[in-house]
Amino acid sequence: MSTLSLRLGRDPSRRPTGPLPSLTRRALHQQNRRFRGTGGVSAENQAYGFAPAFLDTQTEVIHRACFADGRPAPMHLLEGLPPALVVARDAAGRVIAIQATVLAGFVRGDRFYTREQAAAFVRH
């Protein structure tokens, strides 16, 4: 279970539109490859106070990335998210996909940053 859940103010412009694929481990790896070297990955923005997190765009709640046992994780992991967000598990019971309305990004203080926003922060 996440150790940090913050409610955001309502901002309809932040909600995704149209059908989205579920967020999977593979998608997280692809995002890491895409943002490597930009400040949009955990290893590159931790020194700036960012922690890996997920934003549930339906509830506007931020979930800090955690290990399955609830300890904060230094990278994006699906295992520590609330069961209500999980849409698929593998044969061993590990989370392999979460709801499509959940975005991977970062939390700094009480604010959620997308990977793009975190990269822009690190650049400046």
The total number of structural domains that make up the chain: 1
Phi and psi at residue 51, in whole multiples of 5°? -130, 140
pLDDT at res. 20 = 58
Dihedral angle sign, alpha carbons of residues 55, 56, 60, 62: negative
The Cα 78–Cα 96 span in angstroms is 7
Residue identified by tokens 């967000």 is 85
HSE at residue 67, side-chain half, CA atoms within 13 A, is 5
Residue 79: φ, ψ to 5°? -60, -30
Average pLDDT, the chain: 88
The boundaries of the domain holding residue 37 are 5-123
pLDDT band at 13 (very low <50, low <70, confident <90, very high): very low
Confidence of residue 5 (pLDDT cuts 50, 70, 90): very low
- Tens of pLDDT, residue by residue over 66-81, are 999 999 999 999 999 9
Please tell me the predicted confidence (pLDDT) of residue 2: 40
| Helix axis angle, 115-123 to 25-35, nearest 10° | 20
In the chain, % of residues over pLDDT 70:
84
The average pLDDT across 39-44 equals 96
pLDDT classification of 8: cutoffs 50, 70, 90: very low
